[in-house]
Amino acid sequence: MGDETVERMSFGDTLKNVGKRIDGRRAEILLHHGGTLPQAMTYALSGGKFFRAFLALEGCRLHAVADDAATDAALAIECIHAYSLVHDDLPCMDDDDLRRGLPTVHKQWNEAVAVLAGDALQALAFDLMLHHRMGPHRSEAARVLARSAQRMVSGQMQDIEAETADEPLSLKSITQLQSSKTGALINWAATIGPQLAAQDTSALNSYANALGLAFQIADDILDVEGDAATVGKAVGKDADAGKATFVSHLGLDGAKRRAGELVQEACDALSIYGDDAETLKEAARFVITRTH
């Protein structure tokens, strides 16, 4: 054999390919449906980073899950994530006008369309997960997804309640809240591969726990340092509301340092996969260097 090596695709290009793969599958499902609802669902699923889909596809690749099942699992988690954002943007929640640099769904259409589009995206996720192509472990994987979505909603509820609490949340409470609000879906995405393959999820679970917390700390940092045009949504809202965040507790430098430590923890958790997990390590590093 010669010294030839196969050039590995960059993480940025990998994310673009993931987006194309998810967009293609989404179009197969929704394109032939007419009317406002599928248009709003498509709109809600468009323009994102597809980071959770990427995690699902990589975890499935590491555990030899069939491509069709992997793609549908990746689309399912993006549906759950998109539904949560559509509802989170509503006037009764965060009341945001921008998402991913575009008008939020309720601004593009109206509140009723946004509510129904979110409902339909959530239903579609479970339709995908319970299809026979997902294999013999699909019911358990769907059940875990349901529990993850419940944890996410619970985290959102805690976040809303914290806005009117007498005392700002402690660092421990914020960490617990974010492990649900942000971390639950990231964890499911990262571990769906071994779930469908009925293999050990512990390494990817440890990776995802550290990654999810780093992701939220990075969001808090972007809310302080980010530019709305680049981030694609309003910034500075946490400080304006006097909300306790990782930055308010740790300071900007301390938050950045903690995020870096968590990224190292995430990368260390992947040691059992060797070089096959290098793209997942790149993803962890991306989380704290992203600008949106």
- On the question of pLDDT at 234 being above 80, the answer is no
Residue 258 has, within 13 A of its CA and on its CB side, a CA count of 20
Strands of 13-133 (E only): list them.
Answer: 98-99, 102-103
Residue 119 buriedness (CB in 10 A; 0-12 / 13-18 / 19+): middle
- On the question of pLDDT at 2 being above 90, the answer is no
The answer to whether position 5 is within a domain reads: no
The answer to whether position 4 is within a domain reads: no
Token pair in block for residue 162: 């914290």
Token pair in block for residue 218: 């990075």
- On the question of pLDDT at 5 being above 50, the answer is no
The answer to whether position 6 is within a domain reads: no
Helices (H), the chain: 11-30, 36-45, 51-62, 67-88, 105-108, 111-129, 138-163, 171-181, 183-196, 202-225, 228-231, 237-240, 246-268, 278-287
What's the pLDDT band for 95 if we cut at 50, 70, 90? very high
Q: Which of 7-16, 159-168, 219-228 has the highest mean pLDDT?
A: 159-168
What's the pLDDT band for 6 if we cut at 50, 70, 90? very low
Residue 292 buriedness (CB in 10 A; 0-12 / 13-18 / 19+): middle
We report the CATH number of the domain holding residue 215 as 1.10.600.10
Q: Which residues contact 168 (CB under 8 A, 6 or more apart)?
A: 162, 242, 243, 244, 248
Strands of the chain (E only): list them.
Answer: 98-99, 102-103
Q: How far apart are CA 80 and CA 72, in angstroms?
A: 12
Q: How far apart are CA 176 and CA 159, in angstroms?
A: 11
pLDDT value of residue 135: 97
Q: What is the pTM of this model?
A: 0.92
The angle formed by the CA atoms of residues 61, 205 and 151, to the nearest 5 degrees, is 115
- On the question of pLDDT at 231 being above 70, the answer is no
The answer to whether position 292 is within a domain reads: no
* Residue for token pair 């949504």: 233
Q: What percent of the chain has pLDDT over 90?
A: 80
The answer to whether position 2 is within a domain reads: no
Contact 79, 128 (CB under 8 A): yes
Q: How far apart are CA 269 and CA 218, in angstroms?
A: 20
Domain holding 69, by residue range, is 11-287
Over range 62-78, report the average pLDDT: 98
Q: Name the β-bridge partners of 181.
A: none
Q: How far apart are CA 83 and CA 153, in angstroms?
A: 11
Three-class SS state of 283: helix
Over range 25-50, report the average pLDDT: 93
Q: Name the β-bridge partners of 103.
A: 98
Contact 236, 219 (CB under 8 A): no
- On the question of pLDDT at 245 being above 60, the answer is yes
The answer to whether position 81 is within a domain reads: yes
Instruction: Tally the residues of the chain.
Output: 292
Residues 165-214: pLDDT tens digits? 888 899 999 999 999 999 999 999 999 999 999 999 999 999 999 999 99
Phi, psi of 272 (to 5 degrees): -65, -20
Three-class SS state of 167: coil
Q: Which residues contact 34 (CB under 8 A, 6 or more apart)?
A: none
The answer to whether position 1 is within a domain reads: no
Q: What is the number of structural domains in the chain?
A: 1
The answer to whether position 182 is within a domain reads: yes
